[in-house]
Structure 1
Amino acid sequence: MNLKNVLIKITAIVVVVFTAVSCDDDFNSVGSEVIGDVNFEDDEYNAIPIAYSKRFEKVQTSGLPNNLLGIYDDPVYGESVYSVVSEVLPSQFNPSFGDNAVLDSVVLNLPYFSTITESSTEDGVVTNTFELDSVYGSNEIRLSIYHSDYFLRDFDLDQGGEQRQVYYSDDITNNFGSSLENRLLFTDNNFKPSSNQIRLLTEDDDTDEDEDPQFSTEIPALRLVLASEAAAAAATELNEDNARIGNQELINYFKTLFLDKEGSIELSNANNFRNYFRGFYFKAESNTNTDESLIFFNISDANFTLFYSFDTNEADEDDADEDGDMTELIRGQGSFVLNFSNNIVNSIDFDFANATLNDNTTIESALDSQDEVNGEANLFLKGGEGSYAVIDLFNGMVTNEDGELENELDFLKRQNWLINEASMKIYINQDEMVSGDTEPERIYIFNQETGAVLVDFVADPTSNQTSPVLSLTNHLGRISRDSDENGEFYKIRLTRHVINVLSEDIDNVKLGLSVSQNVNVVTLAEGFTPNNSEDELIPFSSIISHEGTILYGNGVNVPEEKRLKLDIFYTRSKSN
């Protein structure tokens, strides 16, 4: 009986195992037909979007992450002039300047972006060689610096004072008026940025027997020193590299503005101070036919410092100044620092009418006659107070499998494709462009309605790169150049965006395409286009970009191989 039961159990187990193996064979056979190349195939679909350009009459330039100062002459779009007006705030309020305070000098220091390329030491003196990172052009311009008396208010009174005041690229030139030039502080008719390190005279620390003057060094900067005549003469005798301008009148001017105001309500808090001392105006102007020198900088790193001396309670018993008087009080040294902050506004003086195409058509007239229904042959992308392109996907008509006309979006939704990649190669019109290092390295795509980045931006595995050159290169490919270093095209991947559109997870919105100085900057600004009272959104990264390009659109005159299209690579079942 037990043996019989054992045989029955063994037989049952064998049957189960045999059945399982048979089923597994059948499953693998069917699976191979599904997964392999028999029932599925890869293919490509080319969608032709409608694309055209829009130009701005003005763009928001308050709240920029960085600022531009100087003149840039784009080989295609022409000259742009950038000036800056900024408020300042002291590092401390209610300052005490001490007894018998005397203003010795005032120093404006605006550092450039730079990197050290070489460093050497000789006789204990370190000399660094720098390369400027964000200075464009090497010609001279006229630069003037003024004490501004224009009040930059914080809140928009036209909106009930509840919203932040927005300032635009044309405000300095057209709206602020003559109060910007309240007092001229400095003019250089032949200004151009220098990559030389700054050498500053310091006190001898008495650690050696050397009687030579001691120096410290700082990175390259736009540095202006206004000194009393005595201080300027002393600096010259010490052969200090940091040039000083002896101007007793301006020293007295700033003494009256600050040292003489000790204990006043004007220096007591931020609001009173901003209304009292309203900031500085940096004005760039042309001085030749070949001027070009543009600085890209962070003005929040700049400062304006007053250096002064005052009496202490100690007598000069050792006659340190060697004047024979050992009863006079020793003079102490102090400083009062003003930092650039709060409202900082860039002006951009630019006109599309000065730029022409090969057929002598002005780019302005081309931009003012855009075909938003059928699209255009050229797409004009220009940073600053410039232009951007609009790309409208899947809104045309296509011939479907039944030979009938159908909306492209509806047609694609029915296909049930497995999309592997969706991307655009956007070709540069080399016939209209002056190729080379003046071409933008990056372009940027965004939701034209909301300004938001696309889902591919968020999902890009290179988004953690801090360098704007290396970041987001999967989604927003850098410019691709030929063997002669001429720009050929940009490649933008929109795979996740297209999947979400076709699966109806998101709406099929129009997309904006702009140049970008830094693709990591996603903050949005306001801009106004001609004949449109409503503001449009443009990324700050486009406003702080000085460069421009001309790309191929989808007009009939565009070479077929360079026509703008969205390439969709997909896998589908052969039964579809």
Structure 2
Amino acid sequence: MNLKKVLIKVTAMVAVVFSVVSCDDDFNSVGSEVIGGVNFQDNEYNATPIAYSKRFERVQTSALPNYLIGVYNDPVYGQSTYNVLSQVLPDRFSPTFGRDAILDSVVLRLPYFSDLTETETNDDGDVVNTFEIDSVYGSSAINLSVYKSDYFLRDFDVDQGSEVRQVYFSNDIIENFGPTVEERLLFSEDNFRVSSNEIRLLSEDTDIDEDDDPQVSTITPGLRLALLSTDAAAAATALNPDPDNDGNTMEDIREGNQELINYFTTLFLDKEGSLELSNANNFHNFFRGIYFKAEAITTEGTLVFFDIAQTNITLHYSFETDNADTEDEDGDGDVTELLRDTGELVLNFSNNVVNSIETNFNTTIEDELASQDEINGEENLYLKGGEGSYIVVDLFNGDILNEDGELENELDFLRRQNWLINEASMKFYINQDAVISGDAEPERIYIFNVDTGEVLVDYQADPTSNAANPIVSIIEHLEPIARDSDDNGEFYKIKLTRHIINLLNEDEDNLRLGVSVSQNVNVINTAEGFTPTNTEDEIIPFSSVISHEGTILYGNGANVPEEKRLKLDIFYTESTTN
């Protein structure tokens, strides 16, 4: 091919490109004007979904991504109490504790979610960190108790075979497990309140070249409960006689702890070399779990959302070494004693963990949920996390009058229109007369396939996915709550454009949709649930189970303001010929 022919072809291609670009510019600028006898018009179609609520009588609370402990008073739905039962595992099996091992303390640690906001040095030269805690709801005191449990949590469902994982539900601890979950009280904290302060720990200075001031270490905010031996309590009293500044000395606070220290000594140090501590199966049968129990003091309370994987119990012990204190390094005047070293055994919370949820529903709402109209839909739609309720939405399930004045199935009518769908969305308006607006309102709601629990195609295609920050994740498909100038919630908007396009193109079946509250829209795994009207298990997202909040949304009906009725708004472009 010679150069002349090449130049002719290149020139022709450039001309075609410019022609296409020019046509595109003309199309965009003209909009709905007539082009070649075709008129493009933008229009809106409003469909009326049928929507109603379903109340769960129990939901799966094993294998959750996170857990809750405490008491929460929802201003609309009522008070809920959350307790936790968990298995634990030592950080090593067949532990050796050393010669003449003595258990000094047993410390429970449950860290809060927190962010470091400031670090400064005070007048005494101490570094002080300031934290902001997250995922703590309420500020009223509760009573908190921690028990050793004797209820065995099995791994597999004996009725379905050794490969089907056992599922535990929100009502199991209270209704099915019985008093064995409270075999022995280990820790208790009356009038417990969450604090955002870092925890400062004191220890004796063991370096003879330093002064006698205690050493200070700090850990992030959290629940920390300790059992001290008599000797450890005496040492702690000398370092800090009144750690709580409430007039009670350390010895007063730790009175009776020695009995529990002896109990843990029997369970662990005295079991060195035993089969019980040799592997996971034996250990789970020997030490069956820990039970956290919260109790309300008033109608209010405090609820803590925490990561069970970061929670643990640590056994601190000391033991003799082969080195003698010949130079009196500890300064006690005795040079004949053997030096002691320290060690620890950590019990991590893992494997089977169950959240119990006990909700005392508002009687009026309970009655409403017991008589939902699944044929015509409801005026009020009830959303509540935990052992709560969700919404079922039916799209295009009836007949409409078509352009010929005849009854036609709505979906069949839409499928033959050949519209170009620009956007499809639903707005769920909040019934502001029925809820207490503000911080108690859930920030996010979530939509899913009722039959499978799967997210919609719009979720998968959302470009704002951000697992690191769920607050700003999936915000095109699942818009966060819209608030007015007074910070009261107005509505939630869910975009379903791709789902509706697929539905009208017959790429998807017209299945029912579920709508729930969501603590974290990035969590798409689903749990089992049971409603009073259905003996078969239903599906609810885990993100709803771990959410404590609730709201009331408008559905359809004569008493719902016209501008706030639930609709599916379809914005489309159609072409007409002159």
Deviation at 1:160, TM superposition (A): 2.6
Q: Which residue of 2 aligns with 1:369?
A: 371
Query: Whole-Å Cα distance in 2 between the matches of residues 71 and 554 of structure 1?
Result: 34
Alignment match of 2:513 (pick from 490, 511, 514): 511
Q: RMSD across aligned C-alpha pairs, in angstroms?
A: 2.3
- Bigger mean CA offset, 380-389 vs 368-377: 368-377
Query: Whole-Å Cα distance in 1 between the matches of residues 150 and 23 of structure 2?
Result: 82
Q: Which residue of 1 aligns with 2:177?
A: 176
Deviation at 1:322, TM superposition (A): 2.9
Alignment match of 1:323 (pick from 324, 332, 337): 332
Aligned amino acid, residue 224 of structure 1:
L
Aligned amino acid, residue 481 of structure 1:
R
Alignment match of 1:254 (pick from 261, 264, 279): 264
Query: Whole-Å Cα distance in 1 between the matches of residues 301 and 148 of structure 2?
Result: 25
CA deviation string 1:454-488 (max 9, x = no partner): 00001111013521110001000000011111000
Query: Whole-Å Cα distance in 2 between the matches of residues 218 and 338 of structure 1?
Result: 18
Q: Which residue of 1 aligns with 2:106?
A: 106
1:189–1:287 contact (8 Å) kept in structure 2: no
Query: Whole-Å Cα distance in 1 between the matches of residues 239 and 428 of structure 2?
Result: 59
Deviation at 1:124, TM superposition (A): 4.1
Aligned amino acid, residue 400 of structure 2:
V
Q: Which residue of 1 aligns with 2:201?
A: 200
1:41-190 pair list within 5 angstroms: 41-122=41-122, 123-190=124-191
1:194–1:221 contact (8 Å) kept in structure 2: yes
SS at 2:323 equivalent:
strand
Alignment match of 1:412 (pick from 411, 414, 422): 414
1:140–1:192 contact (8 Å) kept in structure 2: yes
1:307-322 pair list within 5 angstroms: 307-322=316-331
2:383–2:516 contact (8 Å) kept in structure 1: yes
1:246-395 pair list within 5 angstroms: 246=255, 247-288=257-298, 290-352=299-361, 355-356=362-363, 362-395=364-397
Query: Whole-Å Cα distance in 1 between the matches of residues 32 and 58 of structure 2?
Result: 57
Unaligned runs of 5+ in 2: 1-7, 245-249
CA deviation string 1:218-255 (max 9, x = no partner): 00111011001221121121118487634110000000
SS at 2:108 equivalent:
strand
Query: Whole-Å Cα distance in 1 between the matches of residues 206 and 532 of structure 2?
Result: 63
CA deviation string 1:298-320 (max 9, x = no partner): 11101101000111100011223
1:90–1:337 contact (8 Å) kept in structure 2: yes
Aligned amino acid, residue 111 of structure 1:
P
Deviation at 1:210, TM superposition (A): 3.9
Q: Which residue of 1 aligns with 2:228?
A: 227
Matched, 1:37 2:33: yes
SS at 1:42 equivalent:
strand
Alignment match of 2:537 (pick from 524, 531, 535): 535
1:445–1:453 contact (8 Å) kept in structure 2: yes
TM-score by length of 2: 0.91
Q: Which residue of 2 aligns with 1:216?
A: 217
TM-score by length of 1: 0.92
Aligned amino acid, residue 318 of structure 1:
E
Deviation at 1:35, TM superposition (A): 6.8
Aligned amino acid, residue 399 of structure 2:
M
Q: Residues 202 and 343 of structure 1: is their aligned pair in 2 closer, same or farther, counting only changes over 3 Å?
A: same
SS at 1:231 equivalent:
helix
Q: Which residue of 1 aligns with 2:548?
A: 546
Deviation at 1:28, TM superposition (A): 5.8
SS at 1:158 equivalent:
coil
Deviation at 1:147, TM superposition (A): 0.6
1:422-441 pair list within 5 angstroms: 422-441=424-443
Deviation at 1:560, TM superposition (A): 0.5
- The structure whose Rg is larger is 1
2:554–2:566 contact (8 Å) kept in structure 1: yes
Aligned amino acid, residue 153 of structure 2:
L
SS at 1:325 equivalent:
coil
Query: Whole-Å Cα distance in 2 between the matches of residues 218 and 32 of structure 1?
Result: 64
Aligned amino acid, residue 472 of structure 2:
L
SS at 1:500 equivalent:
helix
Aligned amino acid, residue 149 of structure 1:
D
Q: Which residue of 2 aligns with 1:469?
A: 471
